[in-house]
Amino acid sequence: MQWGSVEERVIDLRNERQVAVVRAFLAKFDLTFSTRLDYTIGFFQAGEMIATGSLAGEVLRNIAVDESRQGEGLTAAVVSNLISEAGRRGIFHYFIFTKPAKAHLFSALGFTEVGRAEPFAVLLESGLGSIDGYCREMKTQIAALPEGSRAGLVMNCNPFTLGHQAVVAKAAAENAGVIVMAVSEDQSVFPFDVRFRLMKEGLAGFNHVAVIPGGKYMVSAATFPGYFMKEDETLPAQTQLDARIFGARIAPALGITSRYVGNEPYCQTTNAYNSALTEILPEYGIAVKIMDRLAIGGLAVSASRIRQLIAENNWVEIQRLVPATTYQYLKSPEAAPIIDKVIHNNRRN
* pLDDT tens readout for residues 30-41: 888 877 899 999
pLDDT tens figures, 233-245: 667 778 888 899 9
Closest CA to 345 of 220, 129, 187, 198: 187
Distance CA 31, CA 24 (A): 9
> How high does pLDDT run on average in the chain?
90
Confirm whether pTM is higher than 0.85: yes
How many C-beta atoms surround the C-beta of residue 315 within 10 A?
12
pLDDT for the residue numbered 202? 98
**205-221 average pLDDT score:** 87
pLDDT over threshold 50, residue 229? no
pLDDT for the residue numbered 231? 45
pLDDT tens figures, 179-195: 999 998 878 899 999 99
pLDDT over threshold 60, residue 220? yes
pLDDT over threshold 90, residue 206? yes
230 pLDDT band, cuts 50/70/90, is very low
Domains in the chain, ordered, with CATH? Answer: 3-129 (3.40.630.30), 133-348 (3.40.50.620)
pLDDT for the residue numbered 225? 47
CA end-to-end distance (rounded Å), the chain: 52
pLDDT for the residue numbered 223? 54
pLDDT for the residue numbered 321? 97
Backbone angles phi, psi at 180, to 5 degrees: -100, 120
**32-52 average pLDDT score:** 91
- Residue 43 burial (10 A CB sphere; 0-12, 13-18, 19+): buried
**236-256 average pLDDT score:** 92
pLDDT for the residue numbered 259? 97
pLDDT over threshold 70, residue 285? yes
Distance CA 253, CA 300 (A): 34
**112-125 average pLDDT score:** 90
The answer to whether residues 127 and 93 touch, using CB atoms and an 8 Å cutoff, is yes
Amino acid making up residue 223: T
pLDDT for the residue numbered 1? 45
228 pLDDT band, cuts 50/70/90, is very low
The answer to which of 152-166, 224-238, 330-344 has the lowest mean pLDDT is 224-238
Who has greater pLDDT, 168 or 34? Answer: 168
Q: Which residues are bridge partners to 6 per DSSP? A: 45
pLDDT tens figures, 74-99: 999 999 999 999 999 999 999 998 88
The answer to which of 84-88, 269-273, 283-287, 336-340 has the lowest mean pLDDT is 269-273
pLDDT for the residue numbered 271? 80
The answer to whether residues 255 and 141 touch, using CB atoms and an 8 Å cutoff, is no
pLDDT for the residue numbered 227? 34
